[in-house]
Structure 1
């Protein structure tokens, strides 16, 4: 057990647990039938282990509805857990950051998730939208916070430098963001997020910086990378060769990458990781990785160095996203 879930009082976004259950896997991109996933038992078990936070989005297909239904079946009262969701991204190539849509999106999320308030709402994948539109959307989230419908607001996206630029502008024009979520930038293949952590906190006044997709949307594992992954074929090939070499030595890249992110991000920066798990075995494996790192069970330093050296020019390689 990581820590017992308790009533969140006094309320603080900084009390988010070290591992946050990501609802991106409760959709058709990651699962042929997301409705068949054991979400109620997964959430119940996660909360019992102290992982009392969920991250989702309207963009993740049925994820909000699946989570909302599951929350009606668990034994934990609403005041003991956090619900984080997003607004603005409608479809793969469709975004609506208008203030009217932001409000409607939040109201719809409240209904889907069967709650009277949301703990955190991000503007989703901001790199696809021009800065002025982002600021207007954040103004609406700020107003919704004042109204009590949401407790915190922030931004999510892939390009770390752009996230920083918007966070800095938001501080100057609206006030500091409560949270930032970046993905695939705080993992064994890409550590760019580490370089920006202090800047987000000191320059922008952000309360919490969260690290998502530490397995880089399925790329950092011995299994097949999902077809939708936007990385260059050369990068995916290089990672797969490393993964297969490790597998021949009875080492799973996904486990090594999970321990790396937990050690280098969670424990060094004391900030959370959004983790996509679709069943109890994956949840238990993630918690075990956390406990192994906490208890210094494994010294992965040599293996990590080997992997990052083998990546060569592909270390910290990124891919285009939106307008960046």
Structure 2
């Protein structure tokens, strides 16, 4: 599997990373901690070496206690901490029906100390601003990141759901190593950032690369999610009757190409982007080991540029309504 360089650093990872959010947040009741730790350790055995979490990825356990994603990840990676790239994020609080943003210098430092404790480590490889805080200028955030790098508390930093202006202004103060924005076949509104990333030498980390599971083709109705307790997906527009119909139309084209490569729809969705750009890392996640293995093996699927173009041509005739944007 090809290795992807993180920005202009000396850090390299496999082409498929691991999004850890769903173990505790937004995908149903949290996975019991011991089980979640085992899943993440087995993922490392498969070859995953890029682990993505965040301060705000929490859920509520059946006993009413809080399930902290960072605690699960920190416990899991202890045996191989030095062998992976560990990423977490600051600046977002989930407040029921909305998010609150706080990227003040004081909050950044307080958040990092809390994350280091939960992750059981003394440094973070990549520290992300989780969302742009309209109250704080990018130069201020970048200045704090520069200090944290100099102090050895983080190796590099990134911005999640950034735009070009914010990215350039921040990058001018302290070089940004990665951005983490939503990107999938069904969510392409950030493609204008690809030339910017290439120009500045920034790696693009794609979250929700399977459109919250829609591109697997596995969910053909809202009933597939069971009770839906602590699960955000049933209310997403891609799982409306119209959304599922559109997704299936796209997957007809994807699966035809996939058959030639003995690749699933999910694998094709990941292979499509890593064969299109050499500076992108999708971070799918799952609680199921077979899906984790299948997702990782997508990094070995080699698509020809004509095959990528066939998919793009189909996408250019379609408009999707998905969670998080258009």
TM-score (ref. length: structure 2): 0.76
1:220 shift after superposition: 3.0
| Structure 1 counterpart of 2:141, from 133, 137, 144 | 137
1:91 maps to 2:94: yes
Partner of 1:277: 286
Mark the CA change 1:14 to 1:319 in structure 2 (over 3 Å): closer, same or farther. Answer: same
Segments of 5+ residues of structure 1 without an aligned counterpart are none
CA RMSD of aligned residues (A): 3.7
Partner of 1:44: 41
User: What per-residue deviation string (whole Å, max 9, x for no partner) do you get for residues 63-97 of structure 1?
Assistant: 1011112223x4x3x22111100011122422221
Mapping of residues 175-190 of structure 1, within 5 Å: 175-183=174-182, 185=183, 187-190=184-187
Mark the CA change 1:33 to 1:246 in structure 2 (over 3 Å): closer, same or farther. Answer: same
| Structure 1 counterpart of 2:210, from 212, 215, 232 | 215
1:212 shift after superposition: 1.3
- Hey, which of these two has a bigger chunk of strand by percent? 2
1:25 shift after superposition: 0.7
Segments of 5+ residues of structure 2 without an aligned counterpart are 59-67, 226-230
Mark the CA change 1:198 to 1:13 in structure 2 (over 3 Å): closer, same or farther. Answer: farther
1:55 maps to 2:58: no
What is the alpha-carbon distance in structure 1 between the residues aligned to residue 141 and residue 125 of structure 2?
17
Partner of 1:102: 108
Mapping of residues 217-232 of structure 1, within 5 Å: 217-222=212-217, 223=219, 224=221, 228=232
Conserved? CA contact 1:153–1:177, under 8 Å:
yes
Partner of 1:16: 13
1:13 shift after superposition: 5.6
What is the alpha-carbon distance in structure 1 between the residues aligned to residue 253 and residue 160 of structure 2?
37
What is the alpha-carbon distance in structure 2 between the residues aligned to residue 119 and residue 244 of structure 1?
38
Aligned-partner SS, 1:86:
strand
Conserved? CA contact 2:56–2:94, under 8 Å:
yes
Mark the CA change 1:308 to 1:108 in structure 2 (over 3 Å): closer, same or farther. Answer: same
Q: Whose RCO is larger (CA < 8 A, sep 6+)?
A: 2
Greater CA drift, 27-36 or 98-107: 27-36
Partner of 1:117: 123
Conserved? CA contact 1:18–1:51, under 8 Å:
no
What is the alpha-carbon distance in structure 1 between the residues aligned to residue 197 and residue 253 of structure 2?
39
Conserved? CA contact 1:53–1:82, under 8 Å:
yes
